[in-house]
Amino acid sequence: MGISGDDIREDLSEQCGLPMALAEIGEKWSLMILRAAFNGVRHFEEFLSEMGIARNILASRLVRLTDSGILERTPCPDDRRRVEYSLTQKGRDLLPAMVALRQWGEKWQLGVPSNPVLVDARDMQPVQGMTIRSHDDRVLHIEDLCWIDASDRDIANPASRRDLEQHAVAETVAREGFF
Amino acid sequence: MGISGDDIREDLSEQCGLPMALAEIGEKWSLMILRAAFNGVRHFEEFLSEMGIARNILASRLVRLTDSGILERTPCPDDRRRVEYSLTQKGRDLLPAMVALRQWGEKWQLGVPSNPVLVDARDMQPVQGMTIRSHDDRVLHIEDLCWIDASDRDIANPASRRDLEQHAVAETVAREGFF
DNA sequence: GCAATTAAGTTGCAAATTGCAATCTAAAAA
DNA sequence: TTTTTAGATTGCAATTTGCAACTTAATTGC
């Protein structure tokens, strides 16, 4: 009647940020709406004309995105018909993921850099390709990575560095997996 | 009868890697399948039991992902019933985007780091949060960024640094947008 | 003040996508 | 030679998406 062992295991396996993220922004149009929001689009009719989305779908997505705190809905004080949708910090925090996706699309589908080009405002040079970095700032490639269990880290944490390494290596051998 | 001016404008506005990327991996389950592939899942029945996906949907997604060169389909030589699906370089290249999404989910939904933890194999320390970097490796935040038109860059490129900056600043003022 | 317009939705219904259960084919195991 | 396994395909139900018309409230033009 309650939660079975399998259910708990299922829940734990979903203790990963990726499925969580997809649950909030994985529907059709959600990321395109956020892209428009990053582009300074703020109003319903403006989203509607900039992208090829249907009215009812846009309305439902805007509700979902504001409900999950990614967009903020503010009625305009000067014109009370209008509503302003703007990115919250949670929404703005999606920029690295969106830039990484865009760069992937540029590299593998477009073949050339997208237009406009994302540049550093200080010197107008294009930003780097998104990379995974170590704590001491080295660029890590897929073969430099491995995954260890959080509880193993917790156990090993106050212990000596040798212990930690032994532990982690054993764990690494055990799972070739990732997320 | 041919392509109208509006069609061309439409096409140019879609000259962005993000819509392109979403066209290939934006459907429901696609990123979850790739996550499983990163986890070492290779076979049909294995995908089926690891995730809660329906057989026909899995079959159709595997076709789409192999057609777009993200997965590779190899019949096993030893057991000719079995088929191995593995990530191509194009597929492995999605890792930064997926890690960025996962970190966003950890920060804003989960509240704690996901398990297992992604670490540098050299010292077993967790990787950094994904950031956007300048060409000279500074971490850039949203307010440090701007977008300039590729053709403007091309024109300004062989010219002096002062020209480039003037040009770019003018462009920046013109558009507050991003992608 | 009153008709026309605008902004942001809502509603009804058609089309496409997803999900489930049963079936199919070829190959391997018992 | 029956049974099992792996990778699908098929038919049908449920959900999601898309389109067009309608609604409501506020603003503008006259």
Q: Exposure string (b/e) for A83-118, b if CB count within 10 Å is 16 or more?
A: eebebeebbbbbbbbbbbbbbbbbbbbbeebbbbbb
Q: Which residues in chain B have Cβ-Cβ distances shorter than 8 Å to A128? A: 132-135, 137
Is nucleic acid strand C under 7 Å from B79's C-beta?
Answer: yes
Q: At what angle do helices A17-25 and B95-105 cross, to 10 degrees?
A: 90
Interface contact A17-B114, CB threshold 8 A: yes
Q: Tens digit of pLDDT per residue, chain B (179 long)? A: 333 333 333 444 568 999 999 999 999 999 999 999 999 999 999 999 999 999 999 999 999 999 999 999 999 999 999 999 999 999 999 999 999 999 999 999 989 899 999 999 999 999 999 999 999 999 999 999 999 988 776 544 444 344 444 444 444 443 456 78
The secondary structure of A61-79 as a DSSP string is HHHHHHHTTSEEEEE-SS-
Query: Is the Cβ atom of B162 within 7 Å of strand C at any atom?
Result: no
- Closest CB to A102: pick one of B16, B146, B148: B16
Residue A130 with chain B: CB contacts under 8 Å: 96-97, 100, 130, 132
Confidence of residue A176 (pLDDT cuts 50, 70, 90): low
The tens digit of pLDDT for each residue in A110-161 reads 898 998 999 999 999 999 999 999 999 999 999 999 999 887 765 444 444 4
Q: Does B18 sit within 8 Å of A101, measured CB to CB?
A: yes
Percentage of chain A exceeding pLDDT 90: 71
What is the per-residue pLDDT across B103-122, written as a single tens digit (0 to 9) for each?
Answer: 999 999 989 899 999 999 99
pTM of structure: 0.87
pLDDT, residue A23, reads 97
Closest nucleotide to A63's CA, by C1' atom?
Answer: C9
A155 touches chain B (CB under 8 A): no
Query: Is omega for the bond preceding B96 within 30 degrees of 0, making it cis?
Result: no
Question: What residues in A contact B7, CB-CB < 8 Å?
Answer: none
